[in-house]
Amino acid sequence: MVAWIGSRTVPLSAAIEQVAKLLATSRCPVFSLDSDIHGCRSLIALAERVGATYDHVNGRDLVHEVALHTDIGGFFATATEVRRRADLIVVGGDLPTAHHDLLLSLAASKPDLSGGGRRRWFQINGKAASAGGGRPLRLPKAVEVGSPDYPVDAVLGILRASLAARKASAALANADAFLSAMAKARFPVFVCSHLTDVPSLAMLQGMLADINKTQRATALFLPADDDAWGMVLASTWMTGFPPRTGFSTGSPVYDPWLCDVDRMIAQKEADLHLWVSERDEAPPARRGGPPTIALVRGERPVAGAAATIRIGKAGLDHDGVVYASRIGTLRSVAATTPSDLPSVRTIVSHLQHALTGKDMPC
Amino acid sequence: MTPLTFTLRNEPEERLDLSGLTPDRLAGMTPAEIAKLRVGTSRRPVAAGDIFKITGTDASNIVFSGGSGRFDRVGTEMTAGRIRVAGDVGARAGRRMAGGLLKIEGKAGVQAGSSMKNGRIEIDGDAGEGVGGPMAGEIHGMSGGLVIVRGKAGDRAGERMRRGIIALLKGCGDHAGLGMIAGTIVATGRVGRYPGHLMKRGSLLFDLKPAELSPTFVDCGRVEIAFPALFDRYLMEEGILDRPLLGPRPFRFGGDNAVLGKGEIMFARG
């Protein structure tokens, strides 16, 4: 049982035909995506075919991480380089729980290319510094720098002013130890995720730019969601832009506000919503929203959806390719419990065929 | 000659890109030609004639009779003339505007006056976030001109602006003047968190001390300099305020010391 129209079980071919019809007649379709690289590539190709706008299902978080790269830019390194070269690691704010193992493995290693095999740790903390999600990571070796009175972005600002020998109107605990360690370090690395907002990331990268005038320093950026970051990479190499991008004019247009799928649905601009999630996430229930097509793993049809098709998950039901921030690039994942559930790419291939009479080029 | 008037027939179903309906671009065109211009942004875009009843002949004086939050990019890149919108507008009104007057009698969406270079924008209602700011991927925001918001403005007003004046008469959201390079932002009423965050130069002028000031701004005390009186006079002559904002001895904070530290925040009352 893999497909439903409404709550009625149908053969997959009938569901494909229905979904293709909805996509072909839609004036302003929007896609919310969450899949592996193959799935994202096929869905972006489908978006181009039907003139849709797409975003990740967690686009609200992803947009800040993308803005760090599109609006600010910065210095970045891979975890491998950090492991071998960093003689000083500064953790900026809380990090997502998914990356705690990476930090702990870094803490257990020694740099063999720098610093005489020694590595110092600092952790920047501030008021309510829990933007990364999950429980806070406490590294036993780390010296905590910060203030309970100021949030992380303000703490970063004070540190940046101190590094440039400019005044600030507040003092931080262990700031002198931090400045002393920075002066001695040969390759300091700041580890960051989506701290709180774009201004915080801008402050951190600005501090790195200041430091790089006299010595080397870089950042290890850890995305909050590796799968979402994989989609960013796939989107960028296919269209030249990260998500939020739309094809309503035929060419890709990147616009984080205009192509915000949640906003488009809330403001009744979208007239069809394709929701794809390889995790067990169902589309959020919306009263009066557009018709929804759901590609999900669940065993039941999504309540209120015009059509639901079951899909498998890469690395579980079928092989796939995902982004891994631990190595800073893509990696293949083999199916751990292979099943007959179709992949996203397979479903999209059927849809492309139903829409054009041709198979997908990729 | 009568103003070229676009009367809204019905609320549009899709967002409209009105960047083509400016005095510069419509000069010399007949109403029939204008009616064929594409303004829709969906897969089956509408034309201007589908949305508006078009009357009048003077393209240097354009009136939108009836507005909508889906009117995007009104007055984009206009260099001269006048546009008046009797209602709301959507995103990026006056984007990269280089001259003329854009008068909005309702609310404006995000990034009004985005990267504008010159001219004047007056918004009678509230404005969304990013007044005068850059679009994604751009380095600089507003580089000249005047934006007056008579309602409340959203977050990040004047982000990375290089020159020009923004006046926000019912307060603004967080991070006003974020990453500001130069220019002036005036705000009366409540100002959100950390105004002037990452600002290098420029002036933020308020009637009250901001509730949350970044610790990388340092108190310079009360100052007796000529600038506040001069600027107060300018604000009143332009009809932006009807009484002095700063007075003769305003409080001054210098910053943002996290960056260059040559900017200032001044306010009349602590």
pLDDT in tens, A199-214: 888 888 999 999 999 8
Residue B70 lies in a domain: no
Residue A258 lies in a domain: yes
Residue A362 lies in a domain: no
Q: Which domain holds residue A328?
A: 3-58+226-356
Cβ contact, residue pair A203, B214, below 8 Å: no
Look at residue B207 in the predicted model and tell me its pLDDT.
93
Look at residue A133 in the predicted model and tell me its pLDDT.
52
Instruction: Name the token pair of A164.
Output: 């440039």
Residue B232 lies in a domain: yes
Are residues A357 and A350 in contact, defined by beta-carbon separation less than 8 angstroms?
no
Which residues on chain B are in Cβ contact (under 8 Å) with A169?
215-219
Look at residue A359 in the predicted model and tell me its pLDDT.
65
Are residues A294 and A308 in contact, defined by beta-carbon separation less than 8 angstroms?
yes
Residue B256 lies in a domain: yes
**Which chain B residue has the Cα nearest residue A67?**
B136
Q: Are residues A212 and A231 in the same domain?
A: no
Nearest CA to A231 out of A330, A346, A336 is that of A330
Say whether pLDDT at A194 is over 80: no
How near does any CA of chain A get to the CA of B200, in Å? Answer: 12
Say whether pLDDT at B126 is over 70: yes
Q: Are residues A106 and A41 in the same domain?
A: no
Residue B237 lies in a domain: yes
Q: Are residues A164 and A258 in the same domain?
A: no
State what percent of residues in chain B have pLDDT above 70. Answer: 100
pLDDT bin (cut points 50, 70, 90) of residue A100 is: confident
Q: Please give the distance of CA A331 from its chain centroid, rounded to a whole number.
A: 16
How near does any CA of chain A get to the CA of B257, in Å? Answer: 5
Q: Are residues A250 and A198 in the same domain?
A: no
**Per-residue pLDDT tens digits for B166-199:** 999 999 999 999 999 999 999 999 999 999 999 9
Chain A contact probe: residue of B15, B16, B17, B43 with most A CBs at under 10 A: B43
Average pLDDT for residues A146-174, to the nearest whole number?
89
Look at residue A106 in the predicted model and tell me its pLDDT.
86
Say whether pLDDT at B39 is over 70: yes
Which residues on chain B are in Cβ contact (under 8 Å) with A203?
197-198, 258
Look at residue A61 in the predicted model and tell me its pLDDT.
82
Q: Are residues A70 and A216 in the same domain?
A: yes
Residue A361 lies in a domain: no
> Complex ipTM above 0.95?
no
Cβ contact, residue pair A257, B111, below 8 Å: yes
Which residues on chain A are in Cβ contact (under 8 Å) with B154?
none
**Which chain A residue has the Cα nearest residue B196?**
A199
Q: Are residues A45 and A136 in the same domain?
A: no
Angle among Cα A135, A138, A143 to the nearest 5 degrees reads 145
Look at residue A68 in the predicted model and tell me its pLDDT.
84
Task: Determine the Cα–Cα distance for residues B254 and A252; give it in Å rounded to an integer.
Answer: 43
Q: In A, residues 56-115, which contact B (CB 8 Å cutoff)?
A: 67, 70-71
Residue B25 lies in a domain: no
**Helices marked H in B57-202 — which ranges?**
none
Residue A137 lies in a domain: yes
- Mean pLDDT, chain A, integer: 88
Q: Are residues A242 and A215 in the same domain?
A: no
Distance from the first to the final alpha carbon of chain A: 27
Cβ contact, residue pair B179, A254, below 8 Å: no
Structural domains counted in chain A: 2
Say whether pLDDT at A172 is over 60: yes
Are residues B160 and B179 in contact, defined by beta-carbon separation less than 8 angstroms?
yes
Task: Determine the Cα–Cα distance for residues A223 and B39; give it in Å rounded to an integer.
Answer: 38
Q: Are residues A77 and A205 in the same domain?
A: yes
SS3 A95: coil
Please state at what angle helix A175-184 crosses helix A152-163, rounded to 10 degrees. Answer: 50
Cβ contact, residue pair A168, B136, below 8 Å: no
Look at residue A299 in the predicted model and tell me its pLDDT.
87
pLDDT bin (cut points 50, 70, 90) of residue A134 is: low
Cβ contact, residue pair B42, A160, below 8 Å: no
Give the nearest partner residue to A168 out of B136, B179, B257, using CB atoms: B257
Which residues on chain A are in Cβ contact (under 8 Å) with B72?
258
Last residue of a domain, one of A199, A221, A243: A221
The region of weakest confidence among A74-88, A109-123, B85-99 is A109-123
Residue B182 lies in a domain: yes
Residue B66 lies in a domain: no
Task: Determine the Cα–Cα distance for residues A212 and A219; give it in Å rounded to an integer.
Answer: 12
Say whether pLDDT at A288 is over 80: no
Are residues A107 and A91 in contact, defined by beta-carbon separation less than 8 angstroms?
no
Cβ contact, residue pair A27, B215, below 8 Å: no
**Which chain A residue has the Cα nearest residue B253?**
A169
Cβ contact, residue pair A161, B137, below 8 Å: no
Q: Are residues A198 and A93 in the same domain?
A: yes
- Residue A331 maps to which CATH number? 3.40.50.740
> By a Cβ cutoff of 8 Å, what residues of chain B touch chain A?
13-15, 41-45, 69-70, 72, 91, 110-111, 134-138, 175, 178-179, 194, 197-198, 214-219, 256-259, 261
Residue B246 lies in a domain: yes
Look at residue A131 in the predicted model and tell me its pLDDT.
47
Task: Determine the Cα–Cα distance for residues A338 and B85; give it in Å rounded to an integer.
Answer: 60
Q: Are residues A52 and A163 in the same domain?
A: no
Look at residue B216 in the predicted model and tell me its pLDDT.
95
How near does any CA of chain A get to the CA of B91, in Å? Answer: 8
**Cα distances (angstroms) measured from residue A51 to each of A57, A93, A356, B13, B44:** 19, 40, 14, 17, 10
Last residue of a domain, one of A179, A204, A221: A221
Q: Are residues A51 and A75 in the same domain?
A: no
How near does any CA of chain A get to the CA of B226, in Å? Answer: 26
pLDDT bin (cut points 50, 70, 90) of residue A115 is: low
Look at residue A92 in the predicted model and tell me its pLDDT.
84
Chain B contact probe: residue of A49, A166, A207 with most B CBs at under 10 A: A166
Q: Does A330 touch chain B (CB under 8 A)?
A: no
Say whether pLDDT at A1 is over 50: yes
Say whether pLDDT at A361 is over 80: no
Residue A210 lies in a domain: yes
Look at residue B252 in the predicted model and tell me its pLDDT.
95
Residue A237 lies in a domain: yes
pLDDT bin (cut points 50, 70, 90) of residue A128 is: low
**Per-residue pLDDT tens digits for B205-252:** 999 999 999 999 999 999 988 899 999 999 999 999 999 999 889 999
Q: B23, exposed or middle or buried, with CB in 10 Å at 0-12, 13-18, 19+?
A: buried
Q: Are residues A79 and A207 in the same domain?
A: yes
Structural domains counted in chain B: 1
CB atoms within 10 A of CB B122: 18
Q: Which domain holds residue B137?
A: 107-269
